[in-house]
Amino acid sequence: MVEALGRAVVQGKFNSGDSLPNEALLGSELGASRTIIREAVKVIASKGLLEPRPKTGTRVLPRRCWSLMDADVMRWQLESDAREVATGEMLEVRTILEPPAAGVAAILRSDEDVRHLEELVDTMGRCTDDLATYAATAVAFHASILTATHNELLAQMANAIGTALMASSRFSLHAPCSGTGATACHRAVVDAIRARDPGAASRAMGHLLSGGSGSGNEPTP
């Protein structure tokens, strides 16, 4: 029920500022008991989408109030008409965050971090014809870069970024810097991190996120 109601709010079934129907009516519409509806509202309110108010009902909050880095909220947006806005904002965040994070990882990484990143790139090279495995491995790669900074806040942000990557249609094995080409792009990041070269690591990550310098294509995972 959390999924159904959360999607309904994100997809604009209820206008920002409006009050939700009462629990009985909402339960009838969604095929759930009032108790289940009440619990779902609590969960969704905790994500910033709704504001329960005594005596006046539950108000739908504007997008600026949402917990946009919450994995569920991100996924619901990427499954809705808000997809382009959410994807564009996430790309901006990644462009700001990931290149310098790769530079920090080059300085602070452990030998185990490097071994893990190399294993992920090797896996990507073996599964360019298997989009699901390739995508999941790419998500793990970017999460591991953030983890290699040994900054716990950055590491936790990998969850939202991973959700955006997995849900986004920007995964493509046909762009010049994806599939086999992307393996080389990812490996360049790892090579720079192994060499403890923060400048090269940052540049390589920026190149990867842009889909290849001058390519004009969608960014790659």
Measured between its terminal Cα atoms, the distance across the chain in Å is 31
Segments making up each domain of the chain, as ranges: 2-65, 84-210
Does 117 have pLDDT greater than 50?
yes
- Span 120-138, pLDDT tens digits: 999 999 988 888 888 889 8
Phi, psi of 35 (to 5 degrees): -65, -45
Taking the C-alpha atoms of 174, 177, 181 and 182 in order, what is their torsion angle to the nearest 10 degrees? -110
pLDDT at position 174: 38
Helices assigned H by DSSP within 109-179: 111-126, 131-147, 152-167
Does 29 have pLDDT greater than 90?
no
- For the segment 101-110, the average pLDDT, to the nearest whole number, is 97
> At CA 40, angle to CA 38 and CA 82, rounded to 5?
135
| Domain 2-65: CATH class, spelled out | mainly alpha
Written as six digits, the tokens of 213 are: 């310098």
Going by pLDDT thresholds of 50, 70 and 90, the confidence category of residue 215 is very low
Classify domain 84-210 at the CATH topology level: Four Helix Bundle (Hemerythrin (Met), subunit A) (1.20.120)
Task: State if pTM tops 0.75.
Answer: no
- For the segment 99-105, the average pLDDT, to the nearest whole number, is 97
- Span 46-62, pLDDT tens digits: 999 999 988 788 999 99
Residues 6+ apart with CB under 8 A from 62: 16, 17
Q: Is the dihedral of CA 79, 120, 160, 182 positive or negative?
A: negative
In this chain, the answer to whether the domains covering 2-65 and 84-210 adopt an identical fold is no
Does 23 have pLDDT greater than 90?
no
